[in-house]
Structure 1
Amino acid sequence: MIPRTLFNSDHETFRATVRKFLENEAVPFNEEWEQQGVVPKEVWLKAGEQGFLCPMVSEEYGGIGADFLYSVVIGEEVSRLGLTGIGWGLHTEIVAPYIEHNGSETLKQKYLPKMVTGEMIGAIAMTEPGAGSDLQGVKTSAVKDGDHYILNGSKTFITNGQNADIVIVVAKTDPSKGAKGISLFVVETDSEGFEKGTNLKKVGMKAQDTSELFFQDVKVPAENLLGEEGMGFIYLMQELPQERLGIA
């Protein structure tokens, strides 16, 4: 066998910790989770205590500023054990970077530390019933109204959709501008008018909660806009390479 040279001794020490945790805290319960279609939030909190969530987040926001290979290690161990419901990868490698790279200091301080501990679980809502993965075709709208945006629309196939406490929502702020009219918002799931729909049944990844989401006149504070209005499509393209690497 050709030796793997990608990881150093620190990565392998971390791997041993991750593997032991998963063998004790996940493997015995995976069949139950697959029947329920969701991993209990308590497991997320335990993972946060061990430093398995968002290790790449900067130290000032509660992370350890680790390199991407720590996330690779976690992904490998989750897959090696056949765990179909651990949604840490999306939370860590997709949701957190959007906030850290594009959010205001207020948003970073408010959300990232709780994502690191597992107190807040993150999701990202791109796909819609009629738009699929065509981000330019999204119909969900966000209309500025004073110091808020009013959000209306629906999303589907949203990973971590049932467990999520915050969702990054892709919405049209100016439908006339196509891709240049798309913006991203951090939306708290306990907001009035936000509804979690069906936990969808799937061919695989049965323990992973994958949900429909509905927004009816949801008031989103203007400060929860990620970056600049109309820059959402650019931000999505900037983050996609790491997202694809994580999925691979």
Structure 2
Amino acid sequence: MSDERQALRDSVRSFAERHVRPAAAKHDRDESYPAAIRRKAAENGFVAPTVPTAFDGPGRDVRDALLIAEELWRADPGIGTALISADAGTRLIDRYGTRQQKSRWLPRIAAGEAVSAITITEPDHGSDVASIETTARRDGSEWVLDGTKTWVTNGSVADVLVVLAKTNTGAGHAGISTFLVPSDRPGIETETLAGTLGLRAADFAAVEFDAVRVPATNLVGEVDDGFAQLLTFLAAGRATVAAEALGAASAVVERVGEQIAAEDCPPSHRSQPRGDACYLDLRSSVAAARSLTYRAGHALSERPGEARSERLANMAKLYASETAIDVVDRGLELCGPDTGSTGPSLEKYYRDLRATTIIEGTSESIRSAIARQLLEE
């Protein structure tokens, strides 16, 4: 790791230890969105790290973004999700948006003055993006959107929604377009999805569009090009989930090591070779996940769009997320729920980590994608 990147890691970790970890339990208990912490993170350049300097962003690459994600989730996955997702869709806006679209939204998001959300999942359609039913029809100089999205991260706190909608209902994935929809447009209704298993500091919502009108200039890129646009950034999103899982798994291993050293684990475990062997297995698994995650980050930074880079990102997402769940499961078996500790407990990491095998593609869909990629070589 370069000196510059190590300095970034130290800076994010220091911020997270001061502002994120102490607030984790309260935001989890209250299911409250950490707006003040998000603004502080933005002041330090930890929100929207890949927004270009030309639009007042930090201008960092994918490797730096993964490092930030790892450290924030190490401190707390719930608040970490709220901070990391505050720029949802900005890579797509930067790549395909007009100068006006970029100038309007990217500086505000990078500064922590606005939050974005990308709306894909629908009540009846998750990983099968081609089957979405939300529509957009042209009406003069406007587009009119109708439909319902669900499990939208930042859905009820976002200032702008990046919406994927069908503009050609008979064309499958070839008939999807992307729109920028300010959240204050008439016809938008949101419902917060409370009572989730984990990540309770993050905002998840259902968003309904009822004849929502936006100017034709709010179309991102070309008509019917939305699915292709989305594919461009799936790999980076999946690598981010890998880094998030890695951060939480690292925290769990640190906690288990501390308890073993302090002899806080159940006597039946700490007095046997099983405890030491289990700890070694956990450390080794996390090290392997870290290696694969940052290999993917390097590939996505140096060779974006290449099939090998996308495959590495898929592999990292699959391995890191499933490894993290195994790590916290075995940590709980070894040391118990650890509910009285400072910062997030093992019990909380257990709840939070379950989402990593679902978001940005379920493990089953990722396995299928990797298999197809390998067979096509």
TM-score calculated relative to the size of structure 2: 0.62
Match of 1:184 in 2: 178
SS of the aligned residue for 1:91 comes to coil
User: What CA distance in whole angstroms lies between the structure 2 residues aligned with 1:116 and 1:156?
Assistant: 25
Partner residue of 1:154 out of 120, 140, 148: 148
Contact 1:85 1:209 in 2 (8 A): no
C-alpha RMSD of matched pairs (Å): 1.4
Match of 1:171 in 2: 165
Question: Is 2:123 the counterpart of 1:129?
Answer: yes
SS of the aligned residue for 1:175 comes to coil
Contact 2:34 2:201 in 1 (8 A): no
Say which one has the larger Rg: 2
> How is 1:70-219 mapped onto 2 (pairs within 5 angstroms)?
70-86=64-80, 87-92=82-87, 94-219=88-213
- Tell me how far 1:203 sits from its aligned partner: 1.7
User: What CA distance in whole angstroms lies between the structure 2 residues aligned with 1:85 and 1:208?
Assistant: 6
Match of 1:40 in 2: 34
Residue identity matched to 1:35: R
Question: Is 2:47 the counterpart of 1:68?
Answer: no
Deviations 1:42-96, CA, capped at 9 Å, x for gaps: 222111111111222211101132121221121111122233233233334x511
User: What CA distance in whole angstroms lies between the structure 2 residues aligned with 1:36 and 1:218?
Assistant: 32
Match of 1:4 in 2: none
The structure carrying a bigger strand percent of its residues is: 1
User: What CA distance in whole angstroms lies between the structure 2 residues aligned with 1:77 and 1:14?
Assistant: 10
User: What CA distance in whole angstroms lies between the structure 2 residues aligned with 1:49 and 1:82?
Assistant: 19
User: What CA distance in whole angstroms lies between the structure 1 residues aligned with 2:46 and 2:60?
Assistant: 11
Q: Which has the higher contact order (CA 8 A, sep 6+)?
A: 1
Deviations 1:143-178, CA, capped at 9 Å, x for gaps: 111111111111111112222111111100110222
> How is 1:224-239 mapped onto 2 (pairs within 5 angstroms)?
224-239=218-233
User: What CA distance in whole angstroms lies between the structure 2 residues aligned with 1:33 and 1:59?
Assistant: 32
Partner residue of 2:215 out of 216, 221, 228: 221
| Mean CA deviation greater in 220-229 or 32-41 | 32-41
Query: What stretches of structure 1 of length at least 5 have no aligned partner?
Result: 1-6
Contact 1:26 1:83 in 2 (8 A): no
Contact 2:20 2:76 in 1 (8 A): no
User: What CA distance in whole angstroms lies between the structure 2 residues aligned with 1:42 and 1:207?
Assistant: 12
Contact 1:200 1:212 in 2 (8 A): no
Match of 2:6 in 1: 12
SS of the aligned residue for 2:152 comes to strand
User: What CA distance in whole angstroms lies between the structure 1 residues aligned with 2:34 and 2:156?
Assistant: 10
User: What CA distance in whole angstroms lies between the structure 2 residues aligned with 1:54 and 1:242?
Assistant: 13
User: What CA distance in whole angstroms lies between the structure 2 residues aligned with 1:141 and 1:98?
Assistant: 20
TM-score calculated relative to the size of structure 1: 0.92
- Tell me how far 1:198 sits from its aligned partner: 2.6
Contact 2:66 2:239 in 1 (8 A): no
- Is the alpha carbon distance of 1:222 and 1:38 closer, same or farther for their aligned partners in structure 2, counting shifts above 3 Å? farther
Residue identity matched to 2:75: L
User: What CA distance in whole angstroms lies between the structure 1 residues aligned with 2:200 and 2:114?
Assistant: 22
| Mean CA deviation greater in 99-108 or 24-33 | 24-33
Match of 2:325 in 1: none
The structure carrying a bigger helix percent of its residues is: 2
User: What CA distance in whole angstroms lies between the structure 2 residues aligned with 1:84 and 1:91?
Assistant: 13
User: What CA distance in whole angstroms lies between the structure 2 residues aligned with 1:40 and 1:22?
Assistant: 13
- Tell me how far 1:245 sits from its aligned partner: 0.9
SS of the aligned residue for 2:127 comes to coil
User: What CA distance in whole angstroms lies between the structure 1 residues aligned with 2:11 and 2:229?
Assistant: 34
User: What CA distance in whole angstroms lies between the structure 1 residues aligned with 2:202 and 2:58?
Assistant: 27
